[in-house]
């Protein structure tokens, strides 16, 4: 999927661009780094951590996006807006996974429906 026109800071330099990302492209080396840095196994636990707006999980997801887009760095070198990233990520997800015509959720096992109450981060309290 493509996360459109989103600014991510890498090593102190902000880059606003389209970022390419795919769950299926996460490597074992990246999964090991994710486990060491966040304590979360890939992909188990990621949907819940993202739903809860876990800052370590979001920073690590930004790192995956940056890495898959061809820029190498450490997870700690990556930063950006948590809510902005979640909105951009969810928008890209919806483009790649449009709702079924009858409004049912994606039947893919483990799929995260970004607009459902159980999976969408609660942004109301953060913006109030």
Q: For 102-125, what is the mean pLDDT?
A: 51
What tens digit of pLDDT does each residue of 61-93 get? 999 999 999 999 999 999 999 999 999 999 999
Portion of the chain with pLDDT greater than 70, in percent:
80
Q: For 110-117, what is the mean pLDDT?
A: 48
How far is it, in rounded angstroms, from Cα 114 to Cα 30? Answer: 24
How far is it, in rounded angstroms, from Cα 66 to Cα 89? Answer: 13
What tens digit of pLDDT does each residue of 21-52 get? 999 999 999 999 999 999 999 998 888 898 89
How far is it, in rounded angstroms, from Cα 4 to Cα 19? Answer: 6
pLDDT value at residue 103: 61
Q: For 108-112, what is the mean pLDDT?
A: 53
Peptide bond into 93 cis (omega under 30): no
For residue 37, the number of C-alpha atoms closer than 13 Å in the C-beta half-sphere is 22
Residue 2: pLDDT above 70?
yes
Residue 114: pLDDT above 90?
no
Task: Note down the domain range covering 50.
Answer: 2-127
How far is it, in rounded angstroms, from Cα 16 to Cα 108? Answer: 31
pLDDT value at residue 108: 56
pLDDT value at residue 45: 85
Residue 4: pLDDT above 90?
yes
Map 67-82 to HEC letters. Answer: HHCCCCCCHHHEECCH
How far is it, in rounded angstroms, from Cα 117 to Cα 101? Answer: 19
Judge if pTM exceeds 0.85.
no
Domain count, the chain: 1
């Amino acid at each position: 999927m493509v996360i459109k026109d989103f600014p991510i800071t890498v090593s102190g330099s902000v880059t606003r661009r389209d970022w390419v990302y795919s769950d299926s492209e996460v490597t074992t080396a990246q999964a090991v780094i994710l486990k060491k840095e966040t304590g979360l196994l890939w992909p188990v636990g990621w949907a819940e951590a993202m739903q809860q707006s876990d800052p370590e999980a979001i920073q690590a997801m930004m790192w995956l996006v940056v890495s898959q887009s061809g820029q190498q760095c450490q997870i700690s070198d990556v930063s950006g807006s948590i809510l902005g990233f979640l909105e951009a990520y969810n928008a890209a997800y919806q483009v790649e996974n449009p709702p079924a015509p009858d409004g049912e959720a994606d039947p893919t096992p483990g799929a995260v429906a970004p607009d459902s109450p159980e999976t969408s981060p609660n942004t109301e309290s953060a913006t109030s």
